[in-house]
Amino acid sequence: MRSFINNTNFDFMGRYKLALIVSGFLLAVSVISIAVRGLNFGVDFTGGYTIEVGYEQAPDLNVIRTALATADLPDSQVQTFGSSTEVLIRMAPKEGFTGASVSTEVLRVLATASESEVTMRRVEFVGPQVGEELREKGGLAVLAALFGIVLYIWFRFEKKFSVGSVLALVHDVLITVGFFALFQIEFDLTILAAILAVIGYSLNDTIVVFDRIRENFVLMRSGTPAEVMNQSINQTLSRTVITSFTTLLVLTSLFIFGGQIIHGFALALILGVLIGTYSSIFVASIAVLRLGITKEDLMPVEKEGAEIDSMP
C-alpha cells in the first residue's frame, strides 16, 4: 500500500474548481444550519443539573424518560454512563428547585418506576451565568488558537501560506460545527475540546504539506508553481493517508465501543480528521496557489554586501 501511494502523480491543483464547488456547498449548508437551527447546547453551556444514578440491573431508558416526563420533568436527557447499570440524567434548571430537592425528587420518581434498588451517585449543577461564561470563553479559545496559528505560519513560512492555513482551519471548524447544528447533536465541553483538537490535527497535516512545498520550490529548477505543489502533495500523500487511516481506526473504535457519553467527542474528531485531510490538500494548498505563490517568495533573502564579504 505504501509503495502504491508513493508512486502517485495526481493533478490535485487541476481540480480546484471541483474542490471549490464541494467546499462551497458544505460551507453553505453549515452556515445556514448554524444560523437557522442553531447549536443544541448541552448543560455545560446552558446551565442545569447532571445526575448520575446506579441500578442493580440494567434499566429500560424509555421507562425512565416516561417516568420523569410524568413527574413534570419533561426536558430530561437520559443515557447510560460507563455501564448498562449506570444512568446519567441531564435536565434544565427548574424554578423553585435546588440541587438537593431535584436529586431527591428524581430519586423518588426512579425508585417508584423501578423494581430494583436505585442509588444516587452524584449531582452537579451548572448555573446559567456559568454556562454562558463557558460558552463565551470557548469561542474565545477557538479565536485565540486561530490567531496564534496565523502568527506561527507567517513567521515560519510566508504570509500566503498563513492565509491558506487559516482558510483551511476556518473551513474545518465551520463544517464540523455545522454538522452538529444540522443534526441537532448535543454540543457540550467535550465537543469544544474535540474542535480544538481538530484544529491541531488539521494544522499538523497542513504544515507537513507546506514544508514539502517550500523545499521543492527551492530544489526544483523547472516547473510551474502548480506542478511543484502537485509533486509535493503526491510525495506526502502516503504519510497523510496512512496517518489519517490509523487515526480513524482508533476513533471509530472509540465511537462504537466507548459508550454514549463520548459519542459526540469521537464523532467530532472523526469528522475533523476527514475534513482536515481533505482541506490540507484541496483548501490550504489551492488557496496558496490562487494567491500567486512563486519561487521568489520562498527564496532566502540575500543580505547586502554578502558577496563582498565572501570574496577572499
CATH code, domain carrying 9: 1.20.1640.10
pLDDT at position 306: 45
Find out whether 149 and 165 touch, Cβ atoms under 8 Å: yes
pLDDT at position 97: 62
CB burial readout 214-230, b (16+ within 10 A) else e = bebbeeeeeeebbebbb
Asked whether residue 35 falls in the same domain as residue 80, the answer is: no
pLDDT at position 182: 93
Determine the angle formed by the axes of helices 189-219 and 225-257, rounding to 10 degrees: 150
pLDDT at position 15: 86
Asked whether residue 236 falls in the same domain as residue 156, the answer is: yes
Apex 8 CA angle, 4 and 14, nearest 5 = 155
Per-position pLDDT tens, the chain of length 312: 555 566 678 888 888 889 999 999 999 999 999 999 988 887 777 777 888 888 888 888 888 888 888 887 756 778 877 778 888 888 877 666 665 677 788 888 888 888 888 888 888 777 666 666 777 777 787 788 778 877 777 777 778 888 888 889 889 999 999 999 999 888 888 888 888 888 888 888 888 888 888 888 888 777 788 888 889 888 888 888 888 999 999 999 989 887 777 888 999 999 999 999 999 889 988 888 888 877 776 665 555 444 444 444
CA-nearest of 5, 12, 6 to 289 is 12
This prediction has a pTM of 0.78
C-alpha cell read off for 159: 504570509
Apex 156 CA angle, 152 and 162, nearest 5 = 60
Asked whether residue 227 falls in the same domain as residue 293, the answer is: yes
In a domain, 272, yes or no: yes
Our count of domains for the chain comes to: 2
Q: What is the DSSP string of 80-145?
A: EESEEEEEEEEE---TT--HHHHHHHHHHHHHHH-SS-EEEEEEEEE-HHHHHHHHHHHHHHHHHH
CATH label of the domain that carries residue 55? 3.30.70.3400
**Of 126, 160, 176, which residue is a domain's last?**
126
Query: Do β-strands 77-81 and 40-41 pair in parallel, antiparallel, or remain unpaired?
Result: unpaired
CA-nearest of 277, 273, 156 to 206 is 277
